[in-house]
Structure 1
């Protein structure tokens, strides 16, 4: 019997692998390693550039600015985070889950993401420009702007989520499922080649698709 391959292929996700007991307290600092720890607070301005954070939980913390440029996060569970700005350019995330909370700007430009889940978060601006993403699931999230220009997405899916604007310029997509993302505006409809959309979504964006193909849309004669 020939087994049909599911299309689009769903993200392949595993929960962050954390021990039952984590050491408490401490501060996250730049260029340091943090292993099997629980953090219940962050400084108002937290510099964690080039840090290595492994098998850690961050719960109920709030910060104005959290810098993670060049940092590595592996098996990290973040719950109910409130942050004005998180700058994580050129960082590396593997098996990271963020659940609940509110983030103003989450800048993951040129980052490498593998097995990442965002669930139940309000994010005003999510930047994934030039990032390389494999196995991403976004559930019950709201975005004002979702930027993916020049990004490479493999096995990414949305569920019960919403974005006012989706910037897709230069997007490379494979097994990307947008059916669970209600999006009001797509910056470059020609760049959604390879994604999966519902008939309702295609109908909603029909004028933008036609315009991108050079079709002049006019009223009935």
Structure 2
């Protein structure tokens, strides 16, 4: 019996272990400076560097960016619905109302972005790192995130409602008033979050791993979910 219990414990440990996210390995080739104006619907952008290009109000739904770098670009109200980014690096981009609904982001790095109201609902993110910067009101409703790392960034009121998160890590970042309503989580690591403030969806943390200190902080919310009153 003891041997069976030990084997069951080992099996449970393996099953419950959190798998680390696979980070992108982006190696850009020599890039050609982009000398166009704006964007084109279903445009094909390959091996280009957008250096400080103002893409405010540009419309490029369905555009494809492969082996591209966007450095210091303005993305105010830029329409990139169903766009595809593959092997791309975005550094210091800024803007409000960027529309990336149903976009596909794969093998990509986003560094020191300053964005507000970015629409990524229904999008697919695979092997993506978001490092540094601040993003307000990020809309990831019904998106699928697989092998995604948020690192040293501030996410203010992000909405993950109905999203599916697989091997997602939050490292040394701030999550303010995050919405996890109807989220599905598999191997989501929240232990290294610098500040964890869950506005909705605390009951959807099944599939995530948190630290003992976070458990203590979330205990009142967990108790409220199951109808337990805590009185002195």
Alignment partner, residue 116 of structure 1:
128
Who is 1:201 aligned against?
Answer: 214
Q: Equivalents in 1 of 2:198, 2:155: separation in Å?
A: 12
Matched residue count: 217
Question: Whole-Å Cα distance in 1 between the matches of residues 199 and 206 of structure 2?
Answer: 13
Greater gyration radius = 2
- Determine the structure 2 residue equivalent to 1:20: 30
Distance 2:31 2:156 in 1: 37
Match of 1:89 in 2: 101
* Aligned pair partner of 1:35 in 29, 46, 56: 46
Unpaired runs of 5+ in structure 2?
Answer: 1-9
Q: How does 1:161-176 map to 2 (within 5 A)?
A: 161-176=173-188
The structure where helix makes up a greater share of residues is 2
CA distance in 2, matches of 1:81, 1:21: 18
User: Which residue in the other structure is 1:178 paired with?
Assistant: 190
| Matched residue, 1:157 | 169
Tell me by how many angstroms 1:186 deviates: 3.7
Matches of 1:25 and 1:180, distance apart in 2: 42
Matching residue within 175, 187, 203 for 1:190: 203
Residue segments in structure 1 that go unaligned for 5+ positions in a row: none
Which whole-Å deviations, capped at 9, do the CAs of 1:154-202 have from their partners, x for residues lacking one?
Answer: 1000111002111111111101001122212341211111101111111
Q: How far is the alpha carbon of 1:152 from its aligned partner?
A: 0.6
1:135 paired with 2:140, answer no
Shift of 1:36: 0.5
Scaled by the length of structure 1, what TM-score is found? Answer: 0.92
8 Å CA contact 1:24, 1:38 repeated in 2:
yes
CA contact (8 A) 2:122 2:140 kept: yes
Contact 2:107–2:128 at 8 Å: present in 1 too?
yes
Counterpart of 2:224 in structure 1 is 211
Give a deviation string over 1:23-72, Cα, whole Å, max 9, x none: 43224322111110011103321212111111100001123212111111
SS at match of 1:207: helix
Structure number having the greater strand percentage: 1
Q: Secondary structure at the match of 2:93?
A: strand
Judge conservation of contact 1:61–1:80 (CA < 8 Å) in 2: yes
